[in-house]
Amino acid sequence: MEIRPLLMCFALCVVYATSKPTEKKERIHHDARLSSREHDDAQGFDYDHEAFLGQKEAKSFDDLSPEESKRRLGVIVEKIDGDSDGFVTEVELRAWIKKSQKKYIYENVDRQWKDFDVNNDGMISWEEYRNVTYDDPEPDDGYNYQHMMARDERRFKMADQNGDQIANKEEFTAFLHPEEYDHMKDIVVLETMEDIDKNGDGFIDLNEYIGDMYNHEDEMEEPDWVATEREQFSEFRDKNKDGKMDREETLDWILPSDYDHAEAEAKHLVYESDLNKDGKLSKEEILNKYDLFVGSQATDFGEALVRHDEF
């Protein structure tokens, strides 16, 4: 069972916020790179393969024949085409790439799913989650489970987009990993502010901001990074210069609008594969450039470069 570790993680976060950290706490959620490979099509398409499929899945194509790679890619294309109109758009490609990059998250959810889906109906209700997670109303460690339960319920309702108090796999993933979903941004900001806003005024002032990352008690001299963070707060975090961060400023801090790697890759794949230049890809166009999307052991990279230059 992984339920208790979840609670322990929350408890440790509370302890961490009130103890002296050995290094700076990082609350910013950055958009991760799609691959550790260099994105240079002149050298190979490894970056594109890992971006499109995810690193683990991309490796599974390495030993396939071109025919099998195309067959599997054809199945994937049908999944990407969300409206089933026979074409894949940049928007659909971006959504697919983002989902491919979250496979490790889905695997984590799959491991926990069986613990919470008590009646095995393929869904998790709030009652199931609450009863399994908060089955000990008076724990010895002294943490306020009522507060934690109320906070979880609020997040559960935000993730439950149809409001039926029952989560499917995608909704439960949003509940466990809210920072990965656009519609969960508000709850991430709210929870962050509640953690840091010690005086309860609905804002984060400089002392609260620094205090979340660093406890100065028993320290003779502040580390250099603390002074840097004070400057960051004054120059960049507090945009309206009123001495505190509101919700919008906190959102910009913890969920910055970084370079959208998935959008850039989707545009790249469409540009390289769109033969008739209509701004969208047919299944035939994608399969014709299968080596760009998935590759295979038998891919002749020299021939691929020739086709790349012709297109």
What is the tens place of the pLDDT at every residue in 37-68? 999 998 899 999 999 999 889 999 988 999 99
Report the pLDDT value the prediction gives residue 135, as an integer from 0 to 100.
Answer: 79
| Choice among 8-12, 146-150, 246-250 with the minimum mean pLDDT | 8-12
Give the pLDDT mean for 145-159. Answer: 93
Say yes or no to pLDDT of 243 above 60.
yes
Tokens standing for residue 289: 């450039």
Say yes or no to pLDDT of 181 above 60.
yes
Report the pLDDT value the prediction gives residue 297, as an integer from 0 to 100.
Answer: 67
CA distance 307 to 60: 24
Helices (H) and strands (E) in the chain, counts: 17, 6
- Residue appearing with tokens 């976060």: 13
282 secondary structure, DSSP code: E
Report the pLDDT value the prediction gives residue 56, as an integer from 0 to 100.
Answer: 87
Report the pLDDT value the prediction gives residue 136, as an integer from 0 to 100.
Answer: 65
Give the pLDDT mean for 87-99. Answer: 95
**Measured torsion, CA atoms of residues 9, 10, 16, 19, in degrees rounded to the nearest 10:** -120
CA distance 147 to 151: 6
